[in-house]
Amino acid sequence: MLKVTLEDAGDLARIVHGTVDPSRLTMFSTMKNEMTFLPAWLAHHRSIGFEQFLIWDDASDDGSFDYLSGQDDVVIMRSDLGFGDAVLYRDPDGVEKADRAGTYFKIALPHLFFDGAYVGYVDADEFLLLPPGVTSIAEVVARLEREGAPSAVASVVEFFPASVSGLSGSVPQSLDGLLKAYPYFEAEQLVDLVPGGQPKLVGKAKTTRLFNTFSVEPKVVRSGWQRIWMSSKAKKAQRFQKSARHKTPLVRRDAQTRLTGSHYANLPPSPDVLLCVAHFVFTAQFAEKIARATEWGAHANGAAKYRYYAELLDKMAGVENAFLGENSVAYEGPEQLVAAGLMRW
């Protein structure tokens, strides 16, 4: 297994398009074949004030690499490592952890260019939403600077249609279009901010609720020599991981502060700022995403969760309003997120 530190990132990944400007407010993301969301994703995050996009592209072959290469505010990096390749990461505190290369690059690549700057991070199917009355991410950064806060966390809110039939057609090419096509969310708190500590997770993500409602449970399938003995790691790989209820989409990158994985930073975030990330899992490309993720196998636990999504959709098919629960509401604006405890400002 390849051993890596923060400092190794510059040798393992290279810029293949553009030049990083450290003075520009930057969104970082890792991507593979995300052409479906890219126009809406870039347009939205430009509209809320991000000035530059640093993308680690994992050998995309769906046209997204060419599309990104045509954007003046996008810098693209690539590596000989793929997202799911195993690495042994040693952090600045000397703690070693086996992880995927894609997660390591999320942690390490922004540190190559930004010292003391706040950097954003969300996935291609995630859209960072700002609180009522806040028009620019620069306002959030200014508040964090005043507080001396190293980061801000966000509730990860899954959006969905009423029924499986709402997953037909094409994926809209704007955030407004996505919210109209997949307008519902669960108006339930997911994150409780803890002064001086890491956020406390409460409630359940929508995906978890759907698995429970339709009795989709992980199954351990043994084949070949595994009929005799199967390691705990192999068993875990056949189970779906819990869906994210939070992430840390804005982190000050410096010698003291860094991400420690896909969702947490090493130091406690602001106790007063809770943003929201709109996550569009259930869209018209959902079936395709299941097939792609299962084949790719680079997601957590070998993309185990996606292996159960197909079973879920089969059980939901033909059920009227199958996605809707007692706390499902149609999105009208960020004020609803504040009222539900999903956002704080």
29-50 pLDDT, tens digit each: 999 999 999 999 999 999 999 9
Question: Does the residue 238 lie in any domain?
Answer: yes
- Is residue 15 packed enough to be buried (19+ CB in 10 Å), middle (13-18) or exposed (0-12)? middle
More confident residue, 117 or 236: 117
Paired tokens of 30: 């890792």
Query: In this predicted model, what pLDDT tens digit does every residue of 172-221 receive, in sequence order?
Result: 999 999 999 999 999 999 999 999 999 999 999 999 999 999 999 876 66
Q: Is the predicted pLDDT of residue 98 greater than 80, yes or no?
A: yes
H, E, C per residue of the chain? CEEECHHHHHHHEEEEECCCCCCCCEEEEEECCCCCCHHHHHHHHHHCCCCEEEEEECCCCCCHHHHHHCCCCEEEEEECCCCCCEEEEECCCCCEEEEEHHHHHHHHHHHHCCCCEEEEECCCCEEEECCCCCCCHHHHHHHHHHHCCCEEEEEEEECECCCHHHHCCCCCCCHHHHHHHCCEEECCCCEECCCCCCCEECCCCHHHHHHHHCCCCCCCCCCHHHHCCCCHHHHHHCCCCCCCCEEEEEEEECCCCCECCCCCECCCCCCCCEEEEEECCCCCCHHHHHHHHHHHCCCHHHHHHHHHHHHHHHHHCCCCCCCCCCCEEECCCHHHHHHCCCCEC
Asked whether residue 234 carries a pLDDT value surpassing 80, the answer given is no
Task: Give the chain's mean pLDDT.
Answer: 91
In a domain, 154, yes or no: yes
Here the tokens at position 310 are 């197909």
- The reported pLDDT for the residue numbered 298 is 46
142 phi and psi angles, rounded to 5 deg: -60, -40
Instruction: Please provide the size of the chain in residues.
Output: 345
- Asked, for residue 344, whether it belongs to a domain, the answer is no
**What pLDDT does 78 receive?**
98
- Is 345 domain-assigned? no
Examine the pLDDT at 242 and tell me if it is beyond 70: no
Report pLDDT digits (tens) over 127-170: 999 999 999 999 999 999 999 999 999 999 999 999 999 999 99
Q: What is the mean pLDDT of residues 107-118?
A: 96
**pLDDT at res. 218:** 73
pLDDT at 302: 47
> Residue 238: its pLDDT value, please?
56
Q: What is the pLDDT of residues 288-325, one digit of tens each?
A: 777 666 565 544 444 566 778 888 988 999 899 999 99
Please tell me the predicted confidence (pLDDT) of residue 57: 97
Q: What is the arithmetic mean of pLDDT over 238-253?
A: 83
Tell me the pTM. Answer: 0.91
Maximum pairwise Cα distance, the chain: 61
Res 54 pLDDT > 80: yes
Percent of the chain with pLDDT over 90: 81
Q: Is residue 140 part of a domain?
A: yes
60 — pLDDT class (breaks 50, 70, 90): very high
Q: Count the domains in the chain.
A: 1
Give the residue numbers spanning the domain of 172: 2-339
Q: For residue 241, is pLDDT > 90? A: no
